[in-house]
Amino acid sequence: MTSLLLAALSIAAVHLGPMGPDAPAREPQLAVRGSNVFLAFGAGDTIYFSASSDAGKTFFAPVRIANAPILPLSRHRGPRLALSGNAIVVTAVTGKTAGQGEHSHGLPSDGDLLSWRSLDDGKTWSKATIVNDVPGAPTEGLHALASDGRGRLFAAWLDKRSGKGTKLYGARSADGGLSWSKNMLIYDSPDGTICECCHPSLAFDGEEILVMWRNALAGSRDMYLARSADGLSFGKPAKLGEGTWQLNACPMDGGGIVASNHRVVTAWRRNKEIFFAGPGEKETGVGEGTDVALAAAPGGVLAIWSSPTGVRVLFPGARESAVVAPQGTFPAIAVLPGGRALGAWETEGKIVVQTIP
Give the domain range for residue 63: 13-356
Per-residue confidence at 1, pLDDT binned at 50, 70, 90? very low
pLDDT (tens digit, 9 = 90+) per residue, 145-199? 999 999 999 999 999 999 999 999 999 999 999 999 999 999 999 999 999 999 9
Q: Is residue 4 part of a domain?
A: no
Q: Is residue 1 part of a domain?
A: no
Q: Is residue 265 part of a domain?
A: yes
Per-residue confidence at 103, pLDDT binned at 50, 70, 90? low
CA distance 322 to 137: 40
Q: Is residue 3 part of a domain?
A: no
Q: Is residue 5 part of a domain?
A: no
What's the CATH code of the domain at 199? 2.120.10.10
CA distance 164 to 349: 37
Q: Is residue 258 part of a domain?
A: yes
Q: Domain total for the chain? A: 1
How many Cβ atoms are within 10 Å of 64's Cβ, its own excluded?
Answer: 12
Q: Is residue 2 part of a domain?
A: no
* Phi then psi dihedrals of residue 216, to 5 deg: -135, 95
Q: Is residue 331 part of a domain?
A: yes
pTM to 2 decimals?
A: 0.95
